[in-house]
Chain A
């Protein structure tokens, strides 16, 4: 019965996606949906699925036909007509106009261009907090000496590879950028390596080659897995990134928590977050995860003396106190992040690590 349903679903889903090797994500995703409906129902709507937008598919730019900014000697404008966006920079005497090939990010956006076979990151970005343009985060100190430099920063090979590697799927093969096979955003294949093979095999009735199960990974491995893009603890340590700037690197922050245990699934990224769903912003949603350790019911009589502490203040909305919001300065004002270093926060305490 299950096999019939599977084959019927697969045939329907795959009918239009014969060229599997260069397939587009919606088709594969619809094929995956025939068996994995719960995971694929909402994932295409998540910000991760839109981590990279191809040219012509940017609703923000469509809603803002002309965005402008002047920075020093240079004036920037982004003009969108007929779903085509152009990035213009002028010094008054000369103008460089480039088509926007890709948009990085769904809300805060930075653009990627291609010039003479090289990739460039735009010097300015769109910030939803100001509903306008400002200098791209990280490039505040770069002072352009020419119009060419004012366009943006050239991405080195490794930087371009890492950029597309995280914001899209199938963009990197054997360490090289393979944009011909790239699928915008995070799709099934991005995390579940071997999806395509699994689909092919399933189509032929072979069901014993599923991608490695991520559900079974210990917390340490989950952190390292998600940290491939969200930065692992060891990456942040090696790069010596200290202060509020590292609040964006959740696996690093989580591992610094007193309660982090790499062998305990109750404290992994996926214990709180379902990557197939939108981020849940209701604080009380996470109480259950906290109380899986910090409650009388969770206590193991055999482990007396080593139990997780019970909160003397409240039994609900734990994250509001123990995972405080941290404001990080950006060229467009403060951006707010949730600090994943779970701890007892005392007034006046400096930001740790």
Chain B
């Protein structure tokens, strides 16, 4: 019995010594920037002692550095599942997920990183915002990307990478920077610069930047839509002019049709909006924004039943879109469905309490 205890004790001591050696060697490899060796040693260490929480973080970091993004994601997942304060790892895992094209997960982890707060020693906020912009753009969520990009405008960040990212969102190009052609670089940077000027709030500089953009790239798709998009909040008349110019370049561009219809609706001109909303429906019936502008155009021109049907379809497609709830409240109210209208109004009030969801765009 005593012999067995002795053997067990010896084995434990040897194992512990071996683990400590591995940790020391791994740290040394990491410090001399020998990433492959560090990965090998950290892998051995966490296999030997899987509950060594920090080891998974070290391993994930090294794997990310080596470009082994899927493996890094898995190591960081081990860390996140067991660490008492996993905040910093969400950001790094978000970057791994971005690289392996898991954009939705990447966005969720960026959100987790932001929500959990705390010091984020490994990834700067600017980097996270940059990847968030790219992920949103890649997913076609251009408006969300531009909302995110106002961060760069506030901090007057104008590095070429950021300008391209903002340009991609602004011109509604669902591409990654590595996918763009060389001859698109100038267009994207100019568009990004103009968009950031606008978001920074300097009307004069923004106007100059957009005029410059229009002069240099008069036929580039998306340029006039981008300017119109920014003008929506402050100058509907000029926004309408820009969307119409966009449609001269691309007559059936559904995005431009939707934006033009929206601008006309905001001008209280639903009968003018209706034909553009109908064109958008022909080209892009599955977009919630199409259903929104069509539903509003119809209900505000007196076609309440069909208008409401389109708005209800829009709501199925995008249940969290404040504008759809606003439109439904109005349409139900016009049709005398006071309980339904009241329900939608309460929903809107709930969605906008504490200043959340403050949007004025489709």
Contact residues, B347-362 vs A (CB, 8 A): 348-349, 352-360
B234 and A157 contacting across the interface, CB-CB below 8 Å: yes
Name A173's closest neighbour in chain B (CB-CB). B237
Q: Is the CB of A262 within 8 A of B330?
A: yes
Q: Interface with A: B101-109, B147-155, B169-177, B331-339, which one?
A: B331-339
Q: Which of A219-244 contact B (CB under 8 A)?
A: 219-221, 224, 228, 233-234, 237-240, 242
Which residue of chain B is the closest to A176 with respect to CB atoms? Answer: B237
* Alpha-carbon gap, A240 to B233, bound state (A): 15
Contact A237 B352 (CB under 8 A): yes
Question: Is A56 an interface residue when CB atoms closer than 8 A count as contact?
Answer: no
CB <8 Å contact, B358 and A261? no
Known: A175-B237, A176-B237, A240-B352. A233 touches B345 (CB 8 A): yes
Q: A99 in the interface, Cβ–Cβ < 8 Å? A: no
- Asked if residues B358 and A256 are in contact (CB atoms below 8 Å), the reply is no
Which of chain B's residues has its CB closest to A218's CB?
B334
CB proximity of A93 to chain B, nearest CB, Å:
30
Query: Is B322 at the interface (CB under 8 A from chain A)?
Result: yes
Report whether A175 and B268 are in contact in the complex, using a CB–CB cutoff of 8 Å. no
Closest to A158 in B: B234
Determine if A234 and B326 form an interchain contact, defined as CB atoms under 8 angstroms apart: yes
Chain B interface residue count, Cβ-Cβ cutoff 8 angstroms: 31
A262 touches B349 (CB 8 A): no
User: How many pairs of A and B residues are in contact by the CB < 8 Å rule?
Assistant: 73
Q: Specify which of A176, A224, A238, A260 lies most central, judged by the most chain B CB atoms within 10 Å of its CB.
A: A238
Q: How far is the CB of B270 from chain A (nearest CB, A)?
A: 11
B316-331: CB near A (< 8 Å → 1, else 0) gives 0000001000100110
- Among B268, B348, B358, B359, the residue within 8 A (CB) of A224 is B268
Q: Are A263 and B322 in contact (CB under 8 A)?
A: no
- In the assembly, what is the distance between CA of A260 and CA of B358, in Å? 24
Which of A156, A157, A239, A263 sits near B333, CB closer than 8 Å? A263
Q: Are A156 and B348 in contact (CB under 8 A)?
A: no
- The residue on B at minimum CB distance from A223 is B333
Q: Which of B235, B335, B345, B355 contacts A158 (CB 8 A)?
A: B235
Q: Which residues of B contact A256 (CB under 8 A)?
A: 345, 349
Expressed in whole angstroms, the minimum distance between the Cβ of B205 and any Cβ of chain A is 13
Q: Does A129 contact B (CB under 8 A)?
A: no
* Residue from the list B237, B329, B330, B358 in contact with A174, Cβ < 8 A: B237
Tell me whether A262 and B237 are in contact (CB under 8 A): no
How distant is B304 from chain A, measured CB to nearest CB, in Å?
A: 9
Residues of B within 8 A of A242 (CB): 352-353, 355
What's the nearest-Cβ distance from chain A to residue B324, in Å?
A: 12
A258 is an interface residue with CB less than 8 A from chain B: yes
Apart from the given pairs A158-B235, A240-B358, A255-B345, 5 other A-B contacts in the complex at a CB distance below 8 Å: A158-B233, A220-B333, A234-B326, A240-B353, A256-B349
Please list 12 pairs of residues, one from A and one from B, whose beta carbons are closer than 8 Å in the complex, sorted by A's number.
Answer: A157-B203, A174-B237, A228-B268, A237-B352, A240-B357, A240-B358, A242-B353, A260-B333, A260-B338, A262-B333, A263-B334, A263-B336
